[in-house]
């Protein structure tokens, strides 16, 4: 039975001047009622209990207004800083309630005839919507769809799901409370073919064995560590530091070796989260090396270009996936806006379109399998990285939970197997204990999987996420199970018994290493192999990669000493983030500049201010340009970034600059003698410096480069910096905003205790030779 429409009583609205901007709001009997974008948000006054979005727009403006339409849709969302920065968040709860009432009264067909933004991606994802199923819901209001999802069982919901567009799914989620999102999430499941991953009662894990230096021993030991806690059944997925083909191939081979040694190739895939083009190149050069293929996705085509992908490219890659394992996608609310492509509409709708992209590519994989003579059973899943960007998207734990619940439901309604990276950057207002609270609020919505590391702190990416012990706790508290085939393996491994209880080998990665060596045919005594294991583990820890051994009072408690170390690193991260370059800080031959950030807090909470030079600094760079007169190929820029201590620590910056200058000169590059030193500088500030220095030069085809040294990744304990290497033609530098992350390479994790400055200098120059070879 079709549910009744959902309506909300109208309210009286505020009248006044807010933040110096006039908010014109008249009563229902007055001349005009508008939604005004002011510093405090979008104000909405409901005309009647049955008014919908389009009647409201016509009543207040006389004709359709796309900007107002986007504002109203944004005003429906629960508050997040990312929507506020776009000027589309509700001014207050009353405005939010009124905007939701308008949306609830709006027919789905009317929404579909008024897309918030059209591009090639929108057209492509629309092709995956089933037209017959879409006709069944076309005359429903969004409020009726909400009621249907809450009142119906899984079978009935799945009958209409193919007819729901990404925009419609985003809109219905806006109307739901957190409790309602949990209710829907807990009754819709899309397991991966032939598994229980994503099935009712199951919650899996992607082991994320990241290394600050792509050291394959660091990676191997973290996988063995996860297995010792009976964790890891979705994918072994490493984020690489280097995107060079040979480096990615070495990590791929390490992960594949573990699976082959334990006979898990048909149970668990592996993946190196390099760009999809790099993964394809590895597979072409070393067939059979790669497992599942990965790519980050955005919600509009222009934002995808920042990732150096397009619809055409992704379709081509999807059609190459004919084996058992298909594709692994990552998304996250706010990525489009922070890359300058918010297009005026809200983060929830951007995120939903990413799931639409994944749904469409999943169909491509299914067709590819069928064409290759296999059953169309696409192993395709999505990981929502909620919280990775920072406080400019959402600042606190409540917003993080809301984001995760929204994304779980949107992913499930797209028919996807969706997992979560319930995470926090270290400059957000979410700490280690807050993450436990967030996980407990989210788990009843039944995500397919979470990330899994030895501790909550990623040693390479330096952000907070879920550790192995969190999985043990969640399984105990919520009764979740692990994919059956992997659970049987963990029992055979001896870390859990027939009843699923921990054995004496639980949490003992050295024991897992012993089994690994035995399956390799190693005939040495147990004692010899275990001694070797302990020595290798010490070496891994010495590189700043923690390994979890044993546990505290409960099997889900982190070992006390390691817990103390984790909390020390967290406190150190706060010092790194808030540290500033001292006034006495000096670099030889330096031109000192500043971004437009007013202070450190402004820099952290409003990243765009750190991407642009202030007026005085702009003049300094222009004077430097005139002084150089095009004589130099390379400009070195140094910024504090999110970790000024990475720049000021002894043995970091000075040896890098000395080494890289020598290597550049030896390679034949002409390096500007002055260093540009920026306070409160972000990565894009380096691009702006390059535009000013090189954009007006007469040699349009010549290539010029910026090496941007910037403090990053607080929380690792290394105080590491990165170098962003950007080389482009003068004609490209001449186009403001054209030079961006998609043409930049990075060397990360540079410190005297990690990737040494001298080695990083050599790597930087080798990359520059590829980007800007000398004649």
In this structure, are residues 89 and 78 in contact, taking their beta carbons and an 8 Å threshold? no
Give pLDDT, residue 30.
29
**pLDDT digits 0-9 by tens, 726-767:** 999 999 999 999 999 889 999 988 999 888 999 999 999 999
Span 392-422, pLDDT tens digits: 888 899 999 999 999 999 999 999 999 999 9
- Going from the C-alpha of 72 to that of each of 43, 106, 167, 341, 745, the distances in angstroms are 9, 12, 14, 19, 39
Residue 259 tokens read as: 């699976």
Any residues with CB less than 8 A from the CB of 477 and at least 6 apart, and which?
A: 440, 443
If DSSP codes are grouped into helix, strand and coil, which group holds residue 273?
A: coil
b/e for 243-279, b at 16 or more Cβ within 10 A? bbbebbbbbbbbbbebbeebebeebbbbbbbbbbebb
Give pLDDT, residue 17. 22
Residue 346 has pLDDT above 80, yes or no: yes
Mean pLDDT over each residue of the chain, to the nearest integer: 92
Closest CA to 549 of 262, 226, 255: 226
pLDDT of residue 40: 74
Instruction: Calculate the alpha carbon distances from 362 to 328, 366, 381 in Å.
Output: 10, 6, 9
Interatomic CA distance for residues 143 and 171, integer angstroms: 10
Using one digit for the tens of pLDDT, what is the confidence trace for 210-264? Answer: 998 899 999 999 999 999 999 999 999 999 988 889 999 999 999 999 999 999 9
Comparing CA positions, the residue from 641, 562, 649 lying closest to residue 603 is 641
pLDDT at 555 over 90: yes
What was the pLDDT predicted at 52? 97
Confidence class for position 337, pLDDT limits 50, 70, 90: confident
Q: For residue 586, is pLDDT > 90?
A: no
- Cα angle, residue 209 at apex, residues 207 and 214 outer, rounded to 5°: 155
Residue 514 to residues 518, 520, 593, 730, Cα–Cα distance (Å): 6, 10, 55, 57
CB atoms < 10 A from the CB of 41, how many? 25
Please, which contacts does 624-627 make with residues 24 or more away whose CB atoms are closer than 8 Å?
624/591, 624/672, 624/674, 624/676, 624/693, 625/692, 625/693, 625/696
Q: How many CA atoms lie within 13 A of 739 on its CB side?
A: 32
Please tell me the least confidently modeled range out of 28-32, 36-40, 541-545, 573-577: 28-32
pLDDT per position as a tens digit, 358-385: 999 999 999 999 999 999 999 999 999 9
d(CA 746, CA 750): 11
What pLDDT, on a 0 to 100 scale, did the predictor assign at position 437? 97
Mutual angle of helices 615-628 and 683-694, in 10-degree steps: 50
Cα–Cα–Cα angle for 42, 46, 52, nearest 5°?
100
Give dist(CA 574, CA 700) in Å, integer. 44
pLDDT at 140 over 80: yes
pLDDT of residue 3: 36
CA distances from 445 to 182, 270, 410, 496 (A): 4, 26, 12, 27
pLDDT value of residue 329: 98
DSSP bridge pairs for 725: 707, 745
Residue 476: which pLDDT band, with cuts at 50, 70 and 90?
very high
Q: In the predicted model, is pLDDT for residue 545 greater than 50? A: yes
DSSP string, 288-322: T---SEEEE--SSHHHHHHTT--HHHHHHHHTT--
212 and 459 in contact (C-beta within 8 Å)? yes
Is pLDDT of 324 > 60?
A: yes
The pLDDT-based confidence of 286 (bands split at 50, 70, 90) is very high
Instruction: Supply the pLDDT for residue 584.
Output: 83
**How large is the average pLDDT for residues 16-26?**
24
Model confidence at 106, in pLDDT bands (50, 70, 90)?
Answer: very high
More confident residue, 27 or 109: 109
Write phi, then psi, for 714 (nearest 5 degrees). -65, 145
> How far is it, in rounded angstroms, from Cα 74 to Cα 81?
12
Comparing C-alpha atoms, which of 566, 549, 557, 560 is closest to residue 228? 549
Closest to 236 measured CA to CA, from 261, 199, 213:
261
385: Cα within 13 Å, side-chain hemisphere: 20
Helices (H) and strands (E) in the chain, counts: 32, 18
d(CA 512, CA 223) in angstroms, rounded, equals 10
642-699 per-position pLDDT tens digit = 999 999 999 999 999 999 999 999 999 999 999 999 999 999 999 999 999 999 999 8
Q: What are phi and psi of 732, to 5 degrees?
A: -75, -45
Contact between 558 and 467 under an 8 Å Cβ cutoff? The reply is yes
Q: What is the pTM of this model?
A: 0.89
Q: Which residue has the higher pLDDT, 52 or 605?
A: 52
What is the H or E stretch that residue 532 is in?
helix 526-542
C-alpha distances in Å from residue 509, one per residue of 223, 224, 656: 9, 6, 36
Residues 64 and 57: beta-carbon distance below 8 Å: yes
Q: Is the pLDDT of residue 1 over 80?
A: no
Separation CA 689–CA 692 (nearest Å):
5
What integer pLDDT is reported at residue 212 of this predicted model?
86
Helix (H, G, I), strand (E, B) or coil at 176: coil
pLDDT of residue 6: 30
What are 72-98's pLDDT values in tens digits? 999 999 999 999 988 999 999 999 999
Confidence check: pLDDT of 508 > 50: yes
């Amino acid at each position: 039975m079709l549910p009744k429409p959902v309506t909300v009583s109208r309210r009286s609205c505020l009248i006044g001047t807010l933040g110096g901007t006039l908010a014109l709001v008249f009563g229902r009997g007055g001349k005009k009622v508008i939604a005004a974008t002011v510093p405090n948000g979008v104000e909405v006054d409901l005309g009647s209990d049955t008014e919908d979005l389009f009647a409201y727009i016509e009543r207040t403006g006389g004709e359709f207004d796309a900007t107002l339409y986007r504002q109203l849709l944004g005003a429906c969302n629960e508050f997040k800083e990312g929507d506020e920065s776009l000027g589309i968040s509700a001014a207050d709860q009353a405005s939010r309630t009124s905007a939701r009432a308008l949306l609830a009264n709006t027919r789905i067909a009317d929404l579909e005839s008024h897309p918030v933004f059209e591009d090639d991606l929108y057209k492509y994802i629309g092709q995956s919507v089933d037209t017959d199923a879409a006709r069944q819901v076309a005359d429903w209001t969004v409020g009726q769809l909400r009621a249907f999802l809450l009142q119906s069982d899984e079978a009935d919901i799945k009958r209409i799901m193919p007819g729901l567009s990404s925009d419609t799914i985003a809109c219905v989620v806006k109307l739901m409370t957190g409790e309602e999102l949990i209710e829907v999430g807990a009754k819709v499941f899309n397991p991966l073919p032939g598994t229980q991953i994503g099935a009712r009662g199951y919650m899996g894990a992607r082991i994320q064995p990241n290394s600050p230096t792509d050291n394959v021993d660091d990676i191997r030991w973290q996988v063995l560590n996860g297995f010792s806690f009976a964790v890891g059944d979705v994918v072994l997925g490493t984020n690489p530091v280097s995107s060079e083909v040979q480096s990615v191939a070495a990590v791929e081979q390490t992960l594949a070796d573990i699976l082959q040694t334990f006979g898990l190739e048909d149970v668990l895939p592996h993946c190196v989260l390099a760009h999809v083009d790099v993964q394809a190149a590895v597979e072409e050069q070393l067939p059979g090396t790669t497992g599942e293929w990965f790519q980050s996705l955005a919600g509009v085509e222009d934002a995808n270009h920042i990732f150096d992908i397009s619809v055409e490219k992704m379709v081509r890659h999807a059609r190459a996936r004919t084996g058992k394992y298909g594709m692994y996608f990552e998304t996250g609310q706010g990525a489009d806006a922070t890359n300058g492509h918010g297009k005026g509409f809200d983060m929830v709708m951007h995120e939903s379109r990413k799931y639409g992209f994944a749904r469409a590519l999943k169909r491509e994989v299914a067709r590819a399998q069928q064409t290759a003579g296999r059953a169309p059973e696409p192993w395709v899943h999505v990981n929502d990285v909620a919280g990775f960007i920072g406080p400019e998207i959402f600042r606190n734990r409540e917003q993080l939970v809301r984001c995760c619940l929204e994304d779980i439901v949107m992913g499930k309604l797209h028919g996807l197997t969706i997992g979560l990276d319930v995470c926090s950057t270290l400059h957000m207002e979410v700490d280690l204990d807050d993450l436990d609270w967030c996980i407990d609020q989210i788990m009843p919505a039944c995500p397919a999987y979470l990330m899994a590391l030895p501790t909550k702190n990623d040693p390479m990416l330096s952000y907070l996420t879920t550790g192995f012990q969190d999985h043990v706790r969640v399984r105990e508290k919520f009764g979740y199970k692990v994919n059956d085939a992997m659970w049987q393996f963990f029992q055979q491994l001896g870390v859990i018994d027939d009843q699923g209880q921990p054995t004496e080998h639980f949490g003992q990665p050295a024991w897992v290493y012993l089994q690994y060596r035995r399956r390799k045919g190693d005939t040495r005594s147990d004692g010899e192999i275990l001694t070797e294991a302990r020595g290798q583990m010490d070496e891994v820890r010495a590189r700043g990669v923690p390994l979890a051994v044993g546990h505290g009072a409960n099997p889900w408690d982190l070992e006390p000493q390691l817990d103390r170390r984790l909390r020390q690193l967290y406190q150190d991260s706060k010092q790194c983030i808030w540290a500033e370059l001292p006034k006495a800080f000096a670099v030889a031959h330096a031109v000192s500049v500043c971004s437009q950030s007013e202070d450190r807090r402004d820099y952290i909470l409003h990243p765009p201010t750190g991407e642009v030079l202030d007026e005085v600094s702009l003049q300094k760079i222009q004077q430097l340009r005139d002084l150089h007169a095009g004589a130099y190929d390379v400009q070195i820029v140094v910024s504090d970034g999110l970790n000024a201590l990475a720049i000021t620590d002894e043995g970091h910056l000075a040896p890098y600059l000395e080494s890289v200058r020598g290597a550049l000169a030896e390679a034949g590059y002409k390096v500007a003698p002055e260093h540009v030193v920026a306070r409160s500088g972000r990565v894009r500030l380096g691009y702006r410096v390059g535009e000013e220095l090189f954009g007006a030069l007469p040699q349009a085809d010549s290539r010029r480069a910026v090496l941007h040294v910037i403090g990053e990744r607080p929380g690792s304990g290394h105080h590491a910096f990165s170098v962003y290497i950007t080389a482009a033609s003068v004609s490209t530098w001449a186009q403001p905003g054209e030079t961006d992350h998609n043409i930049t390479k990075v060397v990360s994790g540079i410190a005297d205790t990690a990737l040494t400055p001298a080695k990083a200098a050599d790597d930087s120059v080798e990359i520059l030779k590829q980007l800007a070879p000398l004649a």
